[in-house]
Amino acid sequence: MRRKADTLLPLEASILLAGLQLGEFHGYSLARTIQEHANARRLTAHGTLYKALGRMQTAGLLTSRWEDADSAVADGRPRRRLYTVTGAGALALAAWEADNPQGAIRAAAASPGLALGGAA
Amino acid sequence: MIALTLALARAWVRIYTRGLSPALRDARRAEIACDLWEQRHEQACAGRRSLLTALEIFGRVIRGVPSDLAWRMASRTRGSAVRRVRLAGAVARRHGWMVLPGALELIYVTGAAKIGTPGFVGILEQLAMGAGAAGVLCGMVLLWRGTAPLAAAWIVCLGALGPTLLIARSAPLSLLWAALAMRSAVRRSDALRAQRSQVALP
């Protein structure tokens, strides 16, 4: 899907919105939060989600780090890659909300913890 | 059923990440493994039937296939472009000395031939010049690729020397360049031979 530079896809806006709500998040928690926000029946597909996360990280909208191996071992689970929304990501979401008031209203309704424009 | 679905998901990740750079490949595999674990763990804790979890995971894998393939293609393109630039840089560092005499030689060969100028040289000489220039180019490409360096050097030498000696009867640049090309090819052959003998040692 071709798009203009410096514009967000709806999925990217959802990721930023959910990411700002979660703080530091990993892929599955993000998929679950997006599903709850959108009231969707299905979780975002692996390929769609991780491709978008990689693209957004390259664009500087997200940063990521791998959690300590010790805490993962202590919990008996694989290591998580933890993402955080950057300042540029928050600004991009605010700009997207300004350009897409309908989408922003829907997103805000789905995520009452975040007010419109509160991402900046 | 859930074990089969998880195995399928892991196998698919292994397939579409095969051949990518180790950092990219391992990061994607680890991320998907973590996602699968989290989903299974959460839904097991919630007491959800494993069949439903398996179907949901299967759906996530299948729906993500186009994006996985697009991501792989983009990653491979980026990776191969980086590899090509690195390879070209290494070859330029190793055979950089060939660029100037090579370019001069080509100008000399093609300029001396004046291909297409009526009456300047005969048709046979023009053909010889054309074949010589083609030989020089082919030899340079082979040297650049690093395949059969000795043969490549001979092709370059014959391509450069033959027509110029035949027509101009004076080709000091050809001789200099041929000597340099042969020196590089011989060194490279020696290095390859040494590598092979090291591998052959127990």
Determine the Cα–Cα distance for residues B33 and B10; give it in Å rounded to an integer: 7
- Quick: pLDDT tens for B14-51: 999 988 888 899 999 999 999 999 999 998 888 888 88
**ipTM for the complex?**
0.81
A59 to A85, B73, B130, B140, B193: CA distances (angstroms): 12, 19, 51, 40, 47
Rounded to a whole number of angstroms, the distance from the CA of A31 to the nearest CA of chain B is: 9
Q: Over chain B, what is the mean pLDDT?
A: 75
- Nearest C-alpha in B relative to A42: B56
Give me the DSSP letters along A4-21. Answer: -TT---HHHHHHHHHHHH
Q: What is the pLDDT of residue B81?
A: 64
Q: Are the beta carbons of A47 and B28 separated by less than 8 Å?
A: no
Residue A113 corresponds to which tokens in the numbers above? 């913890």
The segment with the largest mean pLDDT, out of B4-13, B107-116, B186-195, is B4-13
Chain A, 49-108: which have a CB under 8 Å from a chain B CB? Answer: 49-51, 54, 66, 77-81
Determine the Cα–Cα distance for residues B13 and B82; give it in Å rounded to an integer: 23
Partner residues linked to A66 by β-bridges: A81
Q: With contacts defined as CB-CB under 8 Å, which chain B residues touch A76?
A: none
The pLDDT of residue B127 is above 70: yes
* Coil/strand/helix, residue A77: coil
Return all residues near A34 (Cβ < 8 A) that are at least 6 apart: A11, A14, A15, A18, A40, A43, A44
Asked if B156 and B137 count as a contact pair (C-beta separation under 8 A), the reply is no
- Rg, chain A, Cα only: 14
The 3-class secondary structure across A38-75, one letter per residue, is HCCCCCCCHHHHHHHHHHHHHCCCEEEEECCHHHHHHH
Q: Over chain A, what is the mean pLDDT?
A: 83
- What is the pLDDT confidence band of residue B153, given thresholds at 50, 70 and 90? confident
Asked if B171 and B105 count as a contact pair (C-beta separation under 8 A), the reply is no
Q: Are the beta carbons of A32 and B27 separated by less than 8 Å?
A: no
Asked if B160 and B132 count as a contact pair (C-beta separation under 8 A), the reply is yes
Determine the Cα–Cα distance for residues A97 and A117; give it in Å rounded to an integer: 7
Ranges A29-33, A50-54, B139-143: which has the least confidence? B139-143
The pLDDT of residue B11 is above 80: yes
How buried is residue A31: exposed, middle or buried, by Cβ count under 10 Å (0-12/13-18/19+)? buried
Rounded to a whole number of angstroms, the distance from the CA of B33 to the nearest CA of chain A is: 7
Q: With contacts defined as CB-CB under 8 Å, which chain B residues touch A46?
A: 9, 32, 35, 60-61, 64, 68
Residue B133 corresponds to which tokens in the numbers above? 């220039």
Q: Are the beta carbons of A47 and B66 separated by less than 8 Å?
A: yes
Residue A63 corresponds to which tokens in the numbers above? 């940063």
Rounded to a whole number of angstroms, the distance from the CA of B71 to the nearest CA of chain A is: 6
Residue B69 corresponds to which tokens in the numbers above? 């393939």
Q: Are the beta carbons of B67 and A47 separated by less than 8 Å?
A: yes
Which of A47, A78, A80 is facing B68, going by the closest CB pair? A47
Residue at token pair 């605010």: A94
Determine the Cα–Cα distance for residues A53 and A36; give it in Å rounded to an integer: 19
Which of B30, B32, B67 is facing A48, going by the closest CB pair? B67
Residue B82 corresponds to which tokens in the numbers above? 């980086």
Q: What is the pLDDT of residue B173?
A: 63
Report which of B24, B188, B160 is spatially closest to residue B103, judged by C-alpha positions. B160
Q: Do the bridges between strand A24-25 and strand A62-66 make them parallel or antiparallel, or are there none, so unpaired?
A: unpaired
